Structure 1
Amino acid sequence: MMKMLIPICHHCNQTRSVRKHGKGRSTGTQRYYCQSCKKTFQTKYIYKGNEAQIARQVTRLISQGNTPEMIGAVLQVGLSTVRHYLGSSHIAHISDLSA
């Protein structure tokens, strides 16, 4: 018998109030809904633009003189993702962590 893994809400860490909530349109990945915090999530997140390392890599590549277009091509993320990290507090936060 296969043991079923219970998903944990990424937003509030609850397990008891998590229910299946359909599948993602583009990926077919199972989605879940947390009845505690009323948010949806996926257990396997496949979008590279939201990975923690992307902000660090954008910071490093921009400090080396690369353009946002070049960074997007190298990291295989959209230009809007690169601009998001360049124009937000992510850069300042990453700088604080590495200091």
Structure 2
Amino acid sequence: MAKIDVVCPRCSETNGVIRNGHSSSGTQLYRCKHCLKTFQLSYRYNGAKPETHQTIVDMAMSGSGCSDTARVLKISLNTVLRHLKNFAPFQVAQNVEPGAPGAEVVICCEANEQWSYVRSKSNPRWLFYAYDRIRKRVLAHVFGPRNALTLRRLLVLLSPFNIAFYMTDAWPVYRTLLASTCHVVSKKYTQRIERHHLNLRTHLKRLARRTICFSKSEVMHDKIIGWYLTIHHYH
């Protein structure tokens, strides 16, 4: 007689997986004694499948909107929104030990801001972030209006890093908050971060220009961009 081991989707254990009754639809439930995860082997609703979460994230990072994802996967829009909202993206690089003895110095850090909007163009939403031009990665980001307060929040996140020079455009607030000895003002030295703006607009549908795609809430707007930066730069 053939025997099939049931594998726990959380801890991948086979020993200790027991039957645990049935769901409301009559499907057999299982429970893992190691991690206490309750699960089932087959799902009628696509949104409940274990691999659906990663598929939703991959589609969001590849230019698909929430409605597009729901239509392709044949799940509800609320399911897509729930998967994307239940995540707390980082605001600063986590794979670096800023300020630690012997930490690498960030020689050239490009700082800039990217415009987008939520609901209507009368409600702009600015992304402020810093880009390490040598290692080609984002160091930290914040969202807010285009003013000195938002820039100060970004500089607080960057303060633990050993940054030698800041490269920015000629926005006057940069001159006010950055010391002249470590501040270089020139569009010539912000080409890499401007190129990264294009990556964001290409990969995230809600940032694409000249389309009808836009964010309807600040939460989703910040979460999607946070997802992208966390996956591609912070891990």
TM over 0.5: yes
Change (3 A) 1:38 1:85: closer
- The answer (yes or no) to whether the contact 1:58–1:82 under 8 Å persists in 2 is no
The answer for the alignment partner of 1:53 in structure 2 is 55
> Alignment partner for residue 36 of structure 2, among 27, 35, 38?
38
- The answer (yes or no) to whether the contact 1:48–1:54 under 8 Å persists in 2 is no
- The answer (yes or no) to whether the contact 1:58–1:85 under 8 Å persists in 2 is no
Deviation per residue, 1:48-83 (Å, 9 max, x gap): 225122222244222xxxxx4454334321121222
Deviation at 1:14, TM superposition (A): 1.9
Change (3 A) 1:43 1:86: closer
The answer for the alignment partner of 2:108 in structure 1 is none
TM-score, normalised to structure 2's length? 0.32
TM-score, normalised to structure 1's length? 0.64
Structure 1 segment 1-99 matched on structure 2, within 5 A:
2-26=1-25, 28-49=26-47, 50=49, 51=52, 52-59=54-61, 60-62=63-65, 68-69=66-67, 71-87=69-85, 88=87, 89=89, 91=224, 92=227, 96=232
Q: 5+ residue gaps in structure 1?
A: 63-67
- The answer (yes or no) to whether the contact 2:17–2:33 under 8 Å persists in 1 is yes
Going by fraction, where is strand more abundant, 1 or 2? Answer: 2
Change (3 A) 1:6 1:61: same
Percentage of matched positions with identical amino acids? 31
Q: Distance in 2 between matches of 1:36 and 1:71?
A: 34
Q: 5+ residue gaps in structure 2?
A: 90-222
Q: Distance in 2 between matches of 1:58 and 1:45?
A: 23
